[in-house]
């Protein structure tokens, strides 16, 4: 279990690099507004996360349409929950950095649990 969570964290790091690059490139070079840049970054990051987590982290062999649908349902739930948590934490702490840190920590644990027990369950 511990090696999977390390792999999951590595995939998350790679996913966030591509997400960030997509946001910056689309926004700064192509003048795409922030909402659509963020959406594009999220989508690209999610696709990369799906590929890497299915092959590298969980070594999942039964990829079908249902797996892809479950993955994206989890990702949209995670996105909604992260946005909600960071808003709540920021209200009480008045620090976006602290809010981001605690929201990310909770989301990381929940996302790993959902991916390993719901999406890529062997």
Split into its structural domains, the chain has a count of 1
Share of the chain above pLDDT 90, in %: 88
Average pLDDT over residues 48-70: 96
What is this structure's pTM? 0.90
Would you place residue 103 in the very low, low, confident or very high pLDDT band (cuts 50, 70, 90)? very high
* pLDDT of amino acid 1: 61
Mean pLDDT of 67-83: 96
Contacts of 118 (CB under 8 A, 6+ apart): 70, 74
Categorize the per-residue pLDDT at 2 as very low, low, confident or very high, splitting at 50, 70 and 90. Answer: confident
pLDDT for 106 equals: 96
Range of the domain at 44: 2-119
How many CA atoms lie less than 13 Å away from 60 in the CB half-sphere? 22
Q: How far apart are CA 6 and CA 41, in angstroms?
A: 23
> What is the per-residue pLDDT across 83-93, written as a single tens digit (0 to 9) for each?
999 999 988 99
Q: Which two tokens stand for residue 46?
A: 């999610």
Confidence (pLDDT) at 95: 86
pLDDT in tens, 15-34: 999 999 999 999 999 999 98
């Amino acid at each position: 279990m511990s090696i999977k969570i390390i792999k999951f964290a590595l995939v998350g790091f790679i996913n966030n690099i591509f997400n960030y690059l997509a946001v910056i490139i689309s926004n700064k070079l192509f003048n795409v507004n922030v909402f659509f840049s963020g959406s594009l970054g999220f989508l690209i990051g999610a696709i990369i996360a799906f590929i890497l987590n299915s092959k590298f982290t969980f070594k999942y062999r039964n990829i079908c349409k249902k797996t892809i649908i479950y993955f994206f349902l989890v990702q949209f739930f995670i996105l909604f929950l992260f946005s909600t948590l960071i808003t709540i934490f920021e209200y009480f702490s008045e620090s976006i950095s602290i809010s981001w840190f605690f929201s990310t920590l909770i989301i990381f644990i929940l996302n790993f649990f959902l991916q390993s027990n719901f999406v890529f369950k062997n």
